[in-house]
């Protein structure tokens, strides 16, 4: 028996970095939106503890891999847990701000729970996943969620962000550690939290007030990213933003003709993906 499951990516609709916590994480305020672009995970039982396989050679195969961490986290709770073989067919680039490693870990937690009939609830899996990484809890249920704390305090939202997403992925890999260490000097704790209601009630005039704090440090360091965002807006995106700490920039389009024109414009020089919210 094998569990074969998609490992979808996410984008951040606005991202406010509030302050650094005593545990080293930062408190944030964001909307996580899962989209139907991602990796594919295949999990099978094996006599060994955990074997990592992949179609790419750049992901680690040892215990530093987030999927291996997911297995070990379950093994601590269920010492009798058998071994697994985890094959990761990668499409999500590293350092892209799309949550690839976190998504993989979430898919593995859900997959092993089913494969071995552990009977863990979503709430229990979210608690376990918070020990692996900041974005992992979101991927237990995915869809559309408000993220607070370090991303572990999640509120499912009934409405999905409408539109088609055009992802532009420059050949730039941005390390999350660098982004957080740099953005902390630009934090303003007195700024108001973003009001996300415009995404759900059609009040697009409010979207200009929804920002990703990482753009303050990423765009000056990588001007190409700022140019991509501006071009997406010029070509008809009703909203464009950096996702997470980057480097992916996405635009949300309502018109098929506009998004096709934009995709054709960027395709010769960048990896482009068209995706829908899940």
Catalytic site positions = 10, 135
Distance from C-alpha of 114 to C-alpha of 189, rounded to nearest angstrom: 42
Cα Dmax for the chain: 57
Burial 151-184 (b: 16+ CB within 10 A, else e): bbbbeebeeebebbbbbbbbebebebeebbebbe
Q: Is 57 exposed, middle or buried (0-12, 13-18, 19+ CB in 10 A)?
A: exposed
How far apart CA 119 and CA 266 sit, in angstroms, is 46
Which residue matches tokens 């984008």?
Answer: 11
């Amino acid at each position: 028996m094998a569990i074969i499951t998609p490992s979808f990516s996410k984008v951040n609709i606005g991202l406010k970095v509030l302050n650094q916590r005593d545990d080293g994480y930062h408190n944030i305020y964001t909307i996580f939106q899962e989209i139907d672009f991602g990796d594919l995970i295949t999990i099978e039982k094996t006599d060994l503890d955990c074997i990592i396989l992949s179609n790419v050679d750049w992901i680690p195969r040892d215990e530093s891999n987030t999927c291996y961490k997911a297995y070990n986290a379950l093994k601590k709770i269920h010492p009798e847990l058998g071994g697994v073989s985890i094959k990761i067919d990668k499409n999500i680039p590293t350092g892209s701000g799309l949550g690839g490693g976190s998504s993989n870990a979430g898919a593995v937690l859900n997959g092993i729970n089913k494969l071995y009939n552990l009977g863990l609830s979503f709430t229990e899996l979210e608690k376990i996943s918070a020990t692996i990484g900041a974005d992992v809890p979101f991927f237990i249920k995915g869809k559309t969620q408000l993220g607070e704390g370090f991303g572990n305090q999640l509120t499912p939202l009934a409405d999905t962000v409408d539109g088609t997403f055009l992802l532009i992925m420059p050949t730039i890999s941005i390390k999350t550690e660098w982004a957080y260490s740099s953005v902390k000097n630009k934090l303003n704790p007195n700024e108001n939290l973003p009001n996300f209601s415009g995404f759900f009630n059609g009040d697009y005039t409010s979207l200009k007030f929804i920002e990703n704090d990482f753009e303050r440090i990423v765009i000056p360091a990588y001007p190409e990213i700022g140019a991509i965002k501006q071009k997406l807006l010029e070509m008809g995106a009703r909203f464009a933003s950096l996702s997470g700490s980057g480097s992916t920039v996405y635009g949300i389009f309502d018109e098929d003709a506009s998004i096709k024109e934009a995709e054709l414009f960027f395709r010769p020089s960048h990896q482009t993906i068209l995706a829908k919210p899940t």
